[in-house]
Amino acid sequence: MAHSLILIPRRRTAALTGLATAVLFAAACGHASTTGTPASSPSAAASSSAPSASKPPTVRALGRVSAVNGTAITLASKKGPDDVDITPSTKVTQMTAAQETDIAVGSCVEVRHANRTPPTAKTVIINTDAKAKCTPTSTATEAKGAVTAVTPQAITVSAANGATPVTLPSDPKTRYLKTAEASALVIVPGACLSAAGLQDGNGAVQASSATVRPAINGNCPGA
């Protein structure tokens, strides 16, 4: 009888020990799952869902100057009048007539040509700004770069990435222009003006850059 009394406490002790072990194991698992998945920060969630501010697009205006009122310019074009504001920070460039003899080896030029073979030069624009970058670029109707050779019959322009320079034949109809920095005083009625900048609430272009060139028979090509 005494022997049976001794066995009962041992079984209970073993059962209690197993129960305690299971409780501790469950507590440990619960703690691991809690620490293994950290809660996301409200500020992080808010920042990831907040929309990014988009940069306003640059607007371009092109036309013949019909009116000048101080720094406010009105352009006439096929789509209707455009308003352009010239600011103290506007970079104004003036295009004037030039000659083939104004081109020399090393000159930075932009040659506009017809998309045909051979691509005869229609307009050659000489950049006289010594500080301007002359990065070679080429498209189906335009070539820009430093002049590597020039003759009365053709102009050879450097190409990008060391490619073969582009030789563009010229003819008596080729038009030559040169560019130079200028003040806003060169913007006068009858001239052609192209401007680029942000548009204000009234629809006027706040010009960051503006290029003035002479009209051809009273017209501005592209306007």
pLDDT, tens only, 47-101: 445 555 688 899 999 999 999 999 999 999 888 899 999 999 999 999 999 999 9
Determine, yes or no, domain membership for 219: no
Whether residue 147 is contained in a domain is answered as yes
Per-residue confidence at 105, pLDDT binned at 50, 70, 90?
very high
Return d(Cα 142, Cα 135) in angstroms, integer. Answer: 13
Domain count, the chain: 2
The reply to whether 121 and 190 lie within a common domain is yes
Instruction: Please say whether the beta carbons of 66 and 189 come within 8 A.
Output: yes
| Residue 64: domain span | 59-213
69 and 120 in a common domain: yes
Residue 218 domain-assigned (yes or no): no
Let me know if residue 52 belongs to a domain. no
Same domain, 15 and 72: no
Closest CA to 157 of 204, 195, 108: 108
| Distance (Å, whole) CA 107 – CA 126 | 7
The answer to pTM > 0.75 is no
Cα dist from 43 to 35, 40, 46, 48, 53, whole Å: 20, 9, 5, 9, 18
In angstroms, the CA 189 to CA 67 distance is 6
Same domain assignment for residues 8 and 118: no
**How many residues make up the chain in this entry?**
223
Instruction: Name the residue among 68, 100, 99, 106 with its Cα closest to residue 84.
Output: 68
Q: What is the pLDDT of residue 15?
A: 42
Q: Burial of 145 by CB count in 10 Å (0-12 exposed, 13-18 middle, 19+ buried)?
A: buried
Write the CA distances from 137 to 88, 108, 133, integer angstroms: 31, 12, 12
Specify whether 110 is located in the same domain as 23: no
